[in-house]
Structure 1
Amino acid sequence: MEGRLMTEISKRIEKGEKAALVTLIDVEGSSPGKAGSLMGVFEDGSIAGTIGGGNLEYQVISSALEAIEESKNRKFEFELVEEGELHMKCGGKVSGYIKIFEKRKKLIIVGGGHLGQELYKLGKFLNMYTTVIDDREEYANEKRFPQADELLHGSIGEILEKYALDEGSYVVIVTRGHSYDKDALRAVTGRTAAYIGMIGSRKKIIETYKDLIDEGVKEEYLEKVYSPVGLDISTGEPNEIALGIMAEILKVKNQGSGRHMSEVKKVRVQG
């Protein structure tokens, strides 16, 4: 039972969902659940396992869903008496803990060329949920990206318009041409995402932005795009460019300064 529960939680996390593990830590007196009982609670309200059922379980599920939304672990404690919060007659007392498992961050690579391949390798190395999108099936297939979590091919703009993005999504636009980059940027600009980056020369970027503004895209949305994409650390080789892009993503994700650690250390010593 416990093995199946943990497997289900792992599957949900791999799919890019949050999950909560509820554990009854201490039980005094009569209670519908026993100490050590486990239950998984998921974003859609479904559960796996049980801590005894009844109003206790209902209230804990509600608390777990709140904890999932807040992304914060929490403790709980209930007295199972009629005058208590749950209005139960068991006469016991229970306490427990809700552990939140965060969903994996999503790396959405738009473009399956050489740079896309290098980004894919780094995304998998960092245990990110990795999606590759290209207009050509031969550039978005299992042979090129054997461990990708999602492979999508077809109209880039249409795919991205329908693709769910959230605060854990990191989009990198590295397609094979200017028009495809513009289609991709048009589809994701202004939507919720932790990071949107697009490769290109400054001239190409200016032209792309101007075209999109003429189409009605708000300039304030474009100002939030990281373009030219990545940190200035490469010689121009695809693997080094990819490393610079992932370094920038980590800087955004972890709210880092991007400074040399030696400089940070000196500031701390002097401060």
Structure 2
Amino acid sequence: MLDIARELSRWIEEDREFAVATVVAVGGSAPRRPGAALAVDTGGTAVGSVSGGCVEGAVYDLCVQALQDGRTVLERFGYSDADAFAVGLTCGGVIDVLVTPVRAAAPVLTQWPAAVVRGAASALVRVARGPAELLGGALLLRADGSYDGGLGGGPELDRSAAGEARTMLDAGRTGTVEIAEDGSRCPGGVTLFVESSVPPPRMIVFGAVDFAAALVRTGKFLGYHVTVCDARPVFATRGRFPEADDIVVDWPHRYLRRTATDHRTVVCVLTHDAKFDVPLLEVALRLPVAFVGAMGSRRTHRDRDRRLREVGLTEDELSLLRSPIGLDLGARTPEETALSIAAEIVAAGRGGTGTPLTGSRTPIHRDRTGTPTAEVG
């Protein structure tokens, strides 16, 4: 539901009743990932998508039915070999869709969209598979471990579900986990679907240059919280970077030392000036961040590499540096360069190779470790 949380929050403020259909499991090739959602209100207005069109009509009808009878249902959709025009996924995959009516009497389901919009770290836990009486149960977990609501199976099940969801929330993961009805960690009992909402990852762009302006726009498009930092106040201005979330005037290495980063943070160094780059990269390459890249020619990179060795960086630390930053797209303009940088960031995070898919035998989709996953499309 993350992708339609803002619309749902508005519906809730307007006291609309609606039903929401959420993809809770995917097998084989499918258009959308777990968490994709479609919502329909009592007036027939729909927002979101669960399949990119394949089964949207059937899911819409399920939402309308859920609003009428107040029941939560789990429905499976897959491709029908016997009839290619039957309701199913013509791309060959299978999706499980959980359809739940949301009314004022369901406080957890009405609280979560607002928490997502506020940017509060939280997780929504629902029963995706199990005894019929548990379907429709929901639990809202906060970052401090407290929770509201319940799954309908007693306090032990709720406590166990909250513990499992806490692990997934800490990792920012959305997916399923199996536990026994008594709350023990035992496959084959109740399947929980956990949707984690965490603040957006950070992209920190150092160097208030034209390339940075294009990268800010691209970073926002990819869902990052984007910060621009430069020591020169004449360049680091809101007028030059209107789409940045934060603009910081400070020496780059000093700012990076004091600001919060984590394993999802992306650091892009566009200054290509040794007096900024070297002390900054000395800090950046020793942080547990997702990506560190630096702009510059190959000659600049060789000089930068030499200087970093002189200040004591090890081979392992230097191996983390992506320089020259970006994939080889033949980029010339700031926008093309931003695209090449963004492409490398995505490839690095998803285990991609950066090679054309045409004619390749590499899996189209991988998890963050590079392991193939179910294909989409």
Instruction: Report TM bin, short chain.
Output: 0.7 to 0.9
Aligned to 1:161: 257
Contact 1:64–1:98 (8 Å) recurs in 2: no
SS of alignment partner, residue 240 of structure 1: helix
Q: CA RMSD in A?
A: 3.2
Aligned to 1:38: 138
Q: CA 1:246 to 1:20, structure 2 compared with 1: closer, same or farther past 3 Å?
A: same
Higher mean displacement: 175-184 or 68-77? 68-77
TM normalised by structure 1 equals 0.77
Q: CA 1:9 to 1:73, structure 2 compared with 1: closer, same or farther past 3 Å?
A: farther
Aligned to 1:192: 288
Contact 1:132–1:151 (8 Å) recurs in 2: yes
Alignment equivalent of 1:65, drawn from 155, 166, 176: 166
Compute the displacement of 1:166 (Å).
2.6
CA distance in structure 1 between the aligned counterparts of 2:177 and 2:235, rounded to whole angstroms: 45
Residue by residue over 1:83-119, the C-alpha shift from the partner in whole angstroms, topping out at 9 and shown as x without a partner, is x86xxxxxxxx95623133643432211221111010
Q: Which amino acid aligns with 1:152?
A: V
CA distance in structure 1 between the aligned counterparts of 2:308 and 2:361, rounded to whole angstroms: 43
Aligned to 1:20: 123
Q: Which amino acid aligns with 1:197?
A: G
Give the number of aligned pairs.
248
Judging by fraction of residues, say which structure has more helix. Answer: 1
Contact 2:272–2:300 (8 Å) recurs in 1: no
Contact 2:272–2:294 (8 Å) recurs in 1: no
- In the alignment, does 2:329 pair up with 1:229? no
CA distance in structure 2 between the aligned counterparts of 1:8 and 1:266, rounded to whole angstroms: 39
CA distance in structure 1 between the aligned counterparts of 2:316 and 2:126, rounded to whole angstroms: 46
CA distance in structure 2 between the aligned counterparts of 1:45 and 1:102, rounded to whole angstroms: 14
Contact 2:202–2:224 (8 Å) recurs in 1: yes
Percent sequence identity over matched residues? Answer: 24
Stretches of structure 2 that go unaligned for 5 or more consecutive residues are 1-106, 365-377
CA distance in structure 2 between the aligned counterparts of 1:237 and 1:217, rounded to whole angstroms: 33
Q: CA 1:77 to 1:151, structure 2 compared with 1: closer, same or farther past 3 Å?
A: farther
TM normalised by structure 2 equals 0.57
Aligned to 1:91: none
Contact 2:176–2:191 (8 Å) recurs in 1: no
Aligned to 2:118: 11
Residue by residue over 1:66-92, the C-alpha shift from the partner in whole angstroms, topping out at 9 and shown as x without a partner, is 23345343244424xxxx86xxxxxxx
Q: CA 1:150 to 1:144, structure 2 compared with 1: closer, same or farther past 3 Å?
A: same
Q: CA 1:37 to 1:200, structure 2 compared with 1: closer, same or farther past 3 Å?
A: same
Aligned to 1:50: 149
Q: Which amino acid aligns with 1:3?
A: T
Residue by residue over 1:139-195, the C-alpha shift from the partner in whole angstroms, topping out at 9 and shown as x without a partner, is 444433333333322121111112333332221101263211222211111221221
Stretches of structure 1 that go unaligned for 5 or more consecutive residues are 86-93
Q: Which amino acid aligns with 1:68?
A: L
Compute the displacement of 1:197 (Å).
0.5
CA distance in structure 2 between the aligned counterparts of 1:133 and 1:143, rounded to whole angstroms: 14
- In the alignment, does 2:202 pair up with 1:101? no
